[in-house]
Every structure is written in C-alpha cells, then in structure tokens.
Structure 1
Amino acid sequence: MLSLGVRQLDEVLGGGVEEGSSVAFVGSIEYDNIILMHQAVIEALKAGKRVLVVDSRQPVKTLLKELKNHGIDYEPFLGESLTILDGYSNLYGQTVQSGKNVLPNPLDLGITTAIIKEELNRGNYDVLVIDDVTAQYTLQSNQKAYIKAIVRLANSVKSIGKTTFVAVCSDVFEKSDLAAILIPFDYIVEVSGGVVEVKRSLQPLRVVEPKFAYIKTREGISPIKEHYQSFEGLKAQLRVGEDGTLWLKDSRIQITGENAERSLIETVYDYLGLEKGKELLYTWGKKQFLGYGEYSRRHTTSVERALEDIFKFTMAGGGGKLELVELSDSVVIIRGTSLFPGGKGYPYPLHPNYAGSFAQFLTEFTGERWEGEETKCEAMGAEHCEFVIRKVE
C-alpha cells in the first residue's frame, strides 16, 4: 500500500492505495487537490519509490517554489529518485526549448505519451505523476482526442504495474468530458471547498462517511481535526472580532482562568452537597460531549484511536494529560494528570465532568450505554486522577 501523506485519508482507505493503481485527485481552481497529490508524492519518495513528474501547469522552478510554501521540498530527491519533465516551456515559451527532461512538443499527444512511457521504463520509475491534465485540455483543438490519450496512458501505465497520480480541475472540464477522463482511475479523491472526500476506491472503505474537513497550511493539506490537536494549530485559528469577541474558527470562545472554573465547581458543591454536586458536574460533562461520539464513529472504527484524539485535543487546549490504562469490551480506565482546574487540598473531586464526557462519548460511539465515575482525584491528594467507565448491561 502507498500512503497518501495524510493519516486520516489513509485510515479511510484502510492504509492507503494499492501499488500499481491509478489515482485521480479532483479539485477546483483552488488547486488544493494538487497540493494533496504532491503530499502523496513526497510520501512515496520518503518510502524509497522512484517518481517521474510531468509538469505542464507552470515552470518547474515555480512548481518547486509553490510546493515548498506548503512544506513539500523536492530538492533532496531531484536527480536521484525524482525526475521532472518540463511540459510547460514549449507550450508557452517565446522560443523552442530543448535539452534534458524538456518535452519538445507537448501538444503532439502521440510523441509526448511515447516519451513519457519510454522515460518511465528506462528510469525504472514506480510512480508517474501528471500535474495536471487540465492545462493541456484547455489548449487542445480536439479535446475528445486528448481525453482518449490520457485514458490510454493511464491504462498502459497500470498494465505494467506502475502507479499513476493525476490532478484534474473539475471546474474547467465539461461534465461529460470529466466523467470520461476519470474512467480509468481506481481511486478518485475530491479535494475542494475545505472537504476531502473519497469518491471511488478499489477496496471497501473503512468508515461510514469517507470525507473530512481540512485546512490548507504551510505544511500542506491538514485535516482540521488533526490541526486542532496542536497548540500551533489552535493559535492559527484564533481571531478577535471588532466587537470584543474571541473566535476559534466559527465558534465564539472565552478564556477561562483556572480560579474561575474551580470557583464554579466549588459553588456547585456548596449549594448542592457532595452527591448532588457530583451528579450535576457529571451531567455537565455529558452535555459537553453530545454528538462527538457519533461524529467519531463515522470517521473511524477504532475506539482507541478516537480516545487518543480526545487526549490530544485536551492537551493542546491546556486541559492536562490523559492516557489509556485499560480498554476492554466492558470497562475503560483512563488516567489524568494536571487536569483543569488543578490544585490540591479540596475535599471533593474536581473532575467528575471528565467521567461524564467519556461515558457520553463511549455510549454514542458503541451504541451501548456506558456510565463512569472519577475514582481518584489529584485535587484530593491522589497522585493522579482516575476515571473508570463501565458498560451498563
């Protein structure tokens, strides 16, 4: 299997794409599909694959600069395991260009595809990359013939066991032409409008909804979920409104001091007592996690991986460190240190809401009822907090 360079996408596909298959990265004029395609290419290069790139979209130097702005650096691989064929210069240059790795007449489809296939075999490359087929489509006097040439090229590369990555801009193609050019591809990955979605796959998909939201960063296309699992990701999404409001992407937030939240919890206990106070805080935690388990279930089949995501969110947001101690069909035990709010010397547990959150999450994720409790609390002098969540028979 070949990784596509994004963990969440690989998980949807069950590990990546089959070697020797053909993959179409479909997008819009944003070119986010092209960025993701090159992330997959750099992943293949790091895995030791030899790659041949055909660039007809822009000068090679501009391509390298564009990709470097998104964390994709081809320089260490050029001349070794990576070759870039220049299909741009003789499409748009003032004079005829010649030399090594320059396509003499890209509009001559017969000669161009023959050169590509010869170079692919001569250099013993594992992956052919076309960036992208849209530029030439707009220049062809006979667009149907061009589509047939691309279909033949993709199928012939597949027939000799090589992998093909192709970028396609769906905004430019006529609807019937787009459908025709995508015929030979085993995988179709659409990357547009902030959403990555797998439209076609050789193997059965591992999740109910094979799509996820993304953001384009200096490190390339990054799932929003993973982006928020780091402090830098959170910081990049914070903005202040002119009316004095603070926003994390589309959600209004307020920075809450540790003393303020601790005071709220203490007030709950002062008014309701130990048992009723714990019940209210536990219910508050369940309310905070409404819908999250259902969302996670649509995007992963692993309870452990989903819990790890929660732990990363908690740490990135300053909530403390969580770790999985035990996971079985009937009981889950989670340990926490430096949880928010902190401090010691309080007679009651300060974090029953965490137990409620975990119980709500597991109930939604598994479709079975779970309940939990905080059995140890740092605030009461324990070395760590401990949450035990049990399935209700």
Structure 2
Amino acid sequence: MTNDSKDKARTGVAGLDEILSGGLTRRHVFLLEGSPGTGKTTIALQFLREGAAIGERCLYITLSETEEELRSSSASHELELGDSIEIFELVPPESLLDADQQQSLLYSSDLELGETTKMIFEAFDRLRPSRVVIDSLSEIRLLAQSSLRYRRQILAMKHFFAKSGATVLLLDDMTSDIMDKTVHSVVHGVVHLEQMAPDYGSERRRLRIVKYRGQAFRGGYHDFVIKTGGVVAFPRLRALEHRTDFQRTKLASGVAELDGLLGGGVERGSSTLLIGPAGTGKTLFGLQFVDAAVKRGERAAVFVFDEELGLLFDRMKALGINLEKMRDDGAVHIEQLDAAEVSPGEFAQRVRDRVSDFDAKIVVLDSINGYQAAMPEENALILHMHELLQFLNRQGATTFLTVAQHGLVGDMKSPVDVTYLADTVVLLRYFEALGKIRRAVSVIKKRTGKHEETIREFTISESGLTLGDPLSEFQGVLRGIPSYMGKGEELLSQLEDDNDS
C-alpha cells in the first residue's frame, strides 16, 4: 500500500482528505453512497469546485435533479459554481416520451438504458473533463431492471472512463435496492455516509471508508457536519500519531496546601479527574490551575457543557478569578458546548485545534456528564476519552476533567467510571460536623509521584479556595457522616476559630 498523495485528487472537504490519506487516486472510479440527506451532493460539488480551483475541467451529470435545483442548492451552502463547472441535465429523449413513438416489440428499458449511457458518453466526449460526478446510480439501476445488466453497464462505464484518464465520483442514494453491492466490487473505492436521529437533539452524520484499493486509509467511523460552506469531516483521533517532546515539570495551583496535598502539584502532560457531588467546587479546583497557568504566561482552554458562561464569569469573579478578563486578554479560550448539538468527533477536533493552534497548556473539560450526553453509549465514551486524554498528554497539555456523582452524602455513584483513565484522582466530599455542612478534599490516586494520604477540609469564600489542616481527628469523612475521635473541647474550639475567620 502507498500513501503517496502526489497523484491524488483532493476532495475539497475539510478532514476527508486526511481520512483518505491525501484524496482520491486519479484516473479511477469511486462510489459515494448514502441515503437521501446525508450530504452526497454537497461533497460532490466540493469535489468539483476543488478541481475547478486548480484549472481542471469538471462535469456534473445529473439524472435526478435539474440544473436549477443544483445551483440553488450550492448557493444555499455558499458554494457558487460559476461557469467553471459544466452541469449536464440528462433527460430521456423526446421520442421516448411520445406515446406514438414508443416501441411495442422491444422493452422500453432497453432503449432507455442504451440512450442514457450514450448521452453520458457524448457529454463526456464533448467536454473531456478531468473530474466527473454522476448523480445518481439509482436511476441507472432502475433502468437496468436486473443485477446482471446493471453490473455490465457499470463495467462499461468504468472501462470508458479508465481510457479517458478522468477521476469519477458515482453517487448512489440507495433508494432502489440497499442490498445491491454490485458497484462495490467494480469501483476503486467506496465512501459510505450515514445519518442518525437521536432521541433528542439534531441529527448526527458519520462516514466510513468501506474500501480503497491499494491505499492505506483511516478506518472506522468519522463524524461530519453539513454547514454553510459545505461538509466538514472530523477524522477519528488516534493518539499514537501525535507526540511532542516536553519536560514533565510540576505545575503548582497557587494554593500551597493544595499543592502539598498533590505532592507538589500535578505533572505537565498528565490528566486529573475532579470527582464529587454537585456544588463541592470541582470547577473551581480546575480553574485554580487555569489562573496559575495564566499568571505563568501560559494559555488555557476551557470547555463547558453544564453552565452558562455569564453565570460562570460572575461566579468566578466573586471568588477572585477574573475568567472573563483572561478570555478578553487572549490568555484563555472558553467555549460553551451544547451536548445535544455537538458530536464526539467534532468536540475532539475542537480540543485538538485549541492545543495545536491556540497553544493551550491547560485544558479543562467541565463536565464528563455533559460529554456523556453527546455519546451514543458508555463504551464509546470510554474509548473517546482514552484517545483524547492520550492525545493531550502526548502534546504536553495538562488536563482537568470534572465528574458529578449522583447523590450528596453517603453511597454515591458516578454516571461513568473514568477513574482508571486519569493519572490523578481528586475526591471532593460533603460532610456534617456539629450541625454544619462542610467540604473535604483528598487525593485518591496519583500515578506520577507521591501525594498526601490525608483528608483536608476546604472552604470557598471571596478570597477563593482555602485548605485547612488534615482532618486527623475524624473517622468516616468520605462517607459524609463522620465520627469525631478526639476531644470535644478541641472540636468546639476549632469550629469557633473557623467561624471567626
């Protein structure tokens, strides 16, 4: 197999050429299949526009849509075709539409199929294009009426175009016979498009390279979207392909007690999971490291699924972290995401772009609960998260993820277990002491070095995050209902000191 892209016809679709290892091999016939609405025509128009942009002659042969419909559709996507792309609107000969001229001794399909093929070849010979799109094969399949005749017709077209040296894209809307794989064995490559409708939210689209002769390609499913400007594909992330050299230094949070709990901080190029019930301060812990990174002169990226940005800005500003100013100064990229609208592939691409283009050294994903809502199933979430975290780690980006557990105290469960993926796990808890709700933090796991095994109480106030001494006199803090093992006078004295402060 070869990955040489010198003799490739680029598709003009962002991301698709990466999936195809450079594009479509010239002088071959390819199949683009998918049900109506998946984006075949849009991709075909982008393919022709890409050829026209480099001076190639391009021909669009349509058996199903009129030229006016095609130009109107392309204009809605801001894909103006101009005069550089020839559109040949193939209609049956007038004699076949005249009842008096119709043959009675021969099947009309014999004449129609022959005339259709003849008109396609004549249109090609007249223009001699480098790129051709035929839309769609369903019409030819209906005219053929049998699988044998259909295969013979496709083979005849393939041999004709092979002699001409053109790169041909056949479209199939899979409406006449979705089980017919005749073309798959004939063409050089097959791109399959799918559209899915979730129970809630906008439709999701994905593509897969079913076949590509003599060429390596990126296998599996890849998400894509149709938006103004055309189709954008998001190649499935493979962390093994991305590695950079960096020093694994320790990054401090700016809170001495927290850094002490973490054994001096977190390592660059590692991932930290902040897990606990709602309201314990998971977001604040992550943004504390963002604040410290900005003060060091680094950039950060924050992706928020669960909270409106205006509310987040106000809340953090009241705690001493002016996140909005960091964004305005260009030090932090912050983005609010709608789990019902964004696909996992698109989200991974956005994170990848912020690390590559924005040079973000700290990445905060808040929260995995919202990210899970964008996933079709839990197993896929684990695989996506594994590749994304591995990619970020290999780029030297330090990642903070938050997970909200179900419940407030006692036995709590997480919607998905990603603790084994993270390098460091920080557990936040509520606990009750003498009629007051308090918060505690502990480090459960750290792969990259030693850490404190203590449980520390922490408070959130106008001055930000404050950690106290280890709760050495308590037993059962992580269960939420601890027992005090020291002297009562000492506990009361400690509570009074906390209240005075």
Q: Which residue of 2 aligns with 1:364?
A: 390
1:367, distance to aligned residue in structure 2 (A): 7.5
Q: How does 1:34-113 map to 2 (within 5 A)?
A: 34-77=41-84, 82-88=85-91, 90=93, 108-113=112-117
Which amino acid in structure 1 is aligned with residue 229 of structure 2?
E
Q: Which residue of 1 aligns with 2:230?
A: 220
1:146, distance to aligned residue in structure 2 (A): 3.0
Q: 8 Å contact 2:29–2:189 — kept in the other structure?
A: yes
Query: For the pair shown, which has the larger CA radius of gyration, 1 or 2?
Result: 2
1:165, distance to aligned residue in structure 2 (A): 0.7
Whether 1:20 and 2:5 are equivalent positions in the alignment is no
Q: Which residue of 2 aligns with 1:327?
A: none
2:67, 2:394 → 1: CA distance?
A: 55
Which amino acid in structure 2 is aligned with residue 136 of structure 1?
I
2:190, 2:393 → 1: CA distance?
A: 31
Q: How does 1:183-222 map to 2 (within 5 A)?
A: 183-193=185-195, 194-207=205-218, 209-222=219-232
Which amino acid in structure 2 is aligned with residue 198 of structure 1?
I
Cα 1:159–1:354, aligned 2, differ >3 Å: closer, same or farther?
same
1:369, 1:43 → 2: CA distance?
A: 32
Please state which structure has a larger fraction of its residues in helix. Answer: 1
Cα 1:153–1:262, aligned 2, differ >3 Å: closer, same or farther?
same
Which amino acid in structure 2 is aligned with residue 222 of structure 1?
V
1:94, distance to aligned residue in structure 2 (A): 6.0
2:209, 2:177 → 1: CA distance?
A: 20
Whether 1:133 and 2:137 are equivalent positions in the alignment is yes
Q: Which residue of 2 aligns with 1:147?
A: 151
Q: Which residue of 2 aligns with 1:169?
A: 173
1:36, distance to aligned residue in structure 2 (A): 1.5
Q: 8 Å contact 1:107–1:136 — kept in the other structure?
A: no
Q: 8 Å contact 1:4–1:10 — kept in the other structure?
A: yes
Cα 1:311–1:365, aligned 2, differ >3 Å: closer, same or farther?
closer
Q: 8 Å contact 2:63–2:91 — kept in the other structure?
A: yes
1:117, 1:87 → 2: CA distance?
A: 11
Q: How many residues align?
A: 267
Q: How does 1:188-337 map to 2 (within 5 A)?
A: 188-193=190-195, 194-207=205-218, 209-223=219-233, 253-257=307-311, 258-264=313-319, 307=352, 309-311=353-355, 323-324=358-359
Q: 8 Å contact 2:15–2:232 — kept in the other structure?
A: no
1:198, distance to aligned residue in structure 2 (A): 1.4
Provide Cα deviations, 1:88-143, integer angstroms capped at 9, x if missing partner. Answer: 364899669xxxxxxxx995333443443344244331122101111232344445
Which amino acid in structure 1 is aligned with residue 189 of structure 2?
Y
Q: 8 Å contact 2:15–2:234 — kept in the other structure?
A: no
Structure 2 alignment gaps of length 5 or more: 1-7, 100-108, 196-204, 236-304, 323-343, 368-385, 400-447, 450-501
Give the alignment's TM-score, normalised by structure 2: 0.45
Q: Which residue of 1 aligns with 2:380?
A: none
Structure 1 alignment gaps of length 5 or more: 97-104, 226-250, 268-294, 313-321, 325-333, 336-351, 374-391
Q: 8 Å contact 1:33–1:190 — kept in the other structure?
A: no
Q: 8 Å contact 2:60–2:88 — kept in the other structure?
A: yes
Q: 8 Å contact 1:60–1:86 — kept in the other structure?
A: yes
Secondary structure at the counterpart of residue 259 of structure 1: helix
Give the alignment's TM-score, normalised by structure 1: 0.56
Q: 8 Å contact 1:191–1:197 — kept in the other structure?
A: yes
2:363, 2:124 → 1: CA distance?
A: 59
Cα 1:353–1:11, aligned 2, differ >3 Å: closer, same or farther?
closer
1:355, 1:142 → 2: CA distance?
A: 54
Cα 1:5–1:113, aligned 2, differ >3 Å: closer, same or farther?
same
Q: 8 Å contact 2:92–2:116 — kept in the other structure?
A: no
Secondary structure at the counterpart of residue 310 of structure 1: helix
Please state which structure has a larger fraction of its residues in strand. Answer: 2
Q: 8 Å contact 1:215–1:221 — kept in the other structure?
A: yes
Q: 8 Å contact 2:113–2:140 — kept in the other structure?
A: no
2:116, 2:90 → 1: CA distance?
A: 9
Secondary structure at the counterpart of residue 76 of structure 1: coil
Secondary structure at the counterpart of residue 164 of structure 1: strand
Cα 1:253–1:140, aligned 2, differ >3 Å: closer, same or farther?
farther
Provide Cα deviations, 1:313-349, integer angstroms capped at 9, x if missing partner. Answer: xxxxxxxxx744xxxxxxxxx57xxxxxxxxxxxxxx
Which amino acid in structure 2 is aligned with residue 36 of structure 1?
I
Q: 8 Å contact 2:10–2:24 — kept in the other structure?
A: yes
2:76, 2:110 → 1: CA distance?
A: 27
